[in-house]
């Protein structure tokens, strides 16, 4: 009985983490697959979402309002990446790297120190349960609600005129410009949207963990890409809305695999190696992923 109870608790933790990092995967999916921009701002914007959310909570703001503020801050970071690329002619990968480097300093300045505690105040703190199982189950309910809302929102926004413009500009920027679509603005909007969703993941992670650390976004881009690759393999690229749904599932699968690896005695130092193996395996069996950079396309293996 104790074994089953322990297994359920571990599964709940893995599922909750999977949903949180699914926001990162969805943001990367928007940037890489719809905007066709290899954005490396992710690690920084994830932390920015957590930092801004944590600061608002420490100032006494409503935790839900703090999450919206974190999304806005991260979205602005993504927009700045797009502005560097479109208006200052910085190559797209370098633009993301520059934003990532700048965000580390900005996050540290905003936080004032390397980490802070949220003192138990979060969107999950209203739970009256006293046992760990009840608290994790309450978290799962909220996270499922948030994830379903984000999935429906993304499916809706990508089907609107502005969403179609973003997809058209990412797929074929030259043709999009011939159709009088402002590809610069669509790229900036797409990166704003992508990083706002990533910032949501950071804010949820801060609320779930009860603390904010300036290094909590380290490696987020790798785990997010792993979820994207798994999700796209499952959906077979049949439609963008299926991709969005299965990318979320891919994130949960990835976290469960990590949980199993740790339970089997795998050292934590080897988790990145496992991630690389997962990436290589799914890319090998699913083929190449095309990422468009500016006005040229290149086949890359994520």
Domains of the chain: 2-117+157-300 (1.10.3470)
What's the pLDDT score for residue 289? 45
- The string of DSSP letters for the chain reads -HHHHHHHHHHHHHHHHHHHHHHHHHHHHIIIIIS------HHHHHHHHHHHHHHHHHTT--HHHHHHHHHHHHHHHHHHHHHHHHHS---HHHHHHHHHHHHHHHHHHHHSSSEEE-TT-STTTT----SHHHHHHHHHHHHHHHHHHHHHHHHHHHHSHHHHHHHHHHH-HHHHHHTT--HHHHHHHHHHHHHHHHHHHHHHHHHHHTEEETTTTTTHHHHHHHHHHHHHHHHTTS-HHHHHHHHHHHHHHHHHHHHHHHHTT--GGGHHHHHHHHHHHHHHHH--EEEEETTEEEEE--
Q: Check residue 284 and give its pLDDT.
A: 82
Which value, to the nearest 10 degrees, does the dihedral of the CA atoms of residues 77, 163, 171, 301 take? 50
Cβ atoms within 10 Å of 229's Cβ, excluding its own:
25
Specify whether the CB–CB gap between 251 and 267 falls below 8 A: no
Note down pLDDT in tens along the chain; length 302 residues: 567 788 889 999 999 999 999 999 999 999 999 999 999 999 999 999 999 999 999 999 999 999 999 999 999 999 999 999 999 999 999 999 999 999 999 999 999 999 999 988 999 986 555 688 888 999 999 999 999 999 999 999 999 999 999 999 999 999 999 999 999 999 999 999 999 999 999 999 999 999 999 999 998 999 999 999 999 999 987 899 999 999 999 999 999 999 998 888 888 888 888 888 888 888 888 764 434 434 344 333 33
Residue 263: Cβ within 10 Å count: 11
pTM of the entire predicted model: 0.92
Separation between Cα atoms, residue 193 and residue 170, nearest integer Å: 14
Where does residue 114 rank: exposed (0-12), middle (13-18), buried (19+ CB within 10 A)?
exposed
Give every CB contact of residue 224 below 8 A, 6+ residues apart in sequence.
Answer: 21, 24, 25, 27, 28, 42, 198, 251
Buried b / exposed e over 147-179, threshold 16 CB at 10 Å, is beebbeebbeebeeeebebbbbbbbbbeebeee
């Amino acid at each position: 009985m104790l074994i089953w109870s322990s297994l359920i608790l571990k599964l709940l933790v893995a599922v909750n983490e999977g949903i949180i990092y699914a926001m990162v995967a969805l943001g990367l999916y928007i940037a890489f697959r719809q905007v066709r921009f290899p954005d490396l701002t992710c690690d920084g914007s994830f932390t920015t979402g957590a930092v801004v959310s944590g600061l608002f909570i420490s100032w006494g703001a409503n935790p839900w309002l703090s999450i919206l503020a974190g999304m806005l801050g991260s979205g602005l970071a993504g927009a700045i990446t797009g502005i560097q690329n479109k208006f200052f002619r910085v190559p797209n990968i370098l633009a993301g790297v520059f934003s990532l480097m700048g965000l580390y300093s900005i996050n540290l300045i905003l936080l004032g120190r390397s980490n802070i505690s949220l003192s138990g105040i979060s969107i999950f703190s209203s739970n009256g349960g006293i046992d760990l199982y009840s608290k994790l189950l309450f978290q799962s309910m909220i996270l499922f609600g948030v994830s379903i809302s984000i999935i429906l929102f993304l499916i809706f926004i990508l089907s609107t005129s502005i969403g179609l413009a973003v997809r058209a500009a990412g797929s074929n920027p030259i043709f999009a410009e011939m159709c009088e679509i402002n590809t610069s603005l669509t790229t900036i909007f797409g990166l704003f949207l992508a990083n706002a969703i990533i910032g949501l993941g950071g804010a949820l992670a801060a609320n779930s963990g009860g603390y904010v650390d300036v290094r909590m976004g380290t490696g987020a881009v790798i785990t997010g890409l792993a979820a994207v690759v798994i999700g796209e393999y499952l959906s077979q690229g049949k439609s963008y809305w299926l991709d969005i749904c299965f990318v979320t599932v891919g994130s949960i699968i990835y976290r469960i695999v990590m949980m199993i690896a740790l339970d089997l005695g795998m050292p934590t130092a080897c988790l990145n190696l496992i991630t690389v193996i997962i990436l290589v395996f799914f890319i090998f069996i699913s083929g190449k992923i095309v990422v468009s950079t500016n006005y040229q396309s290149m086949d890359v293996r994520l």
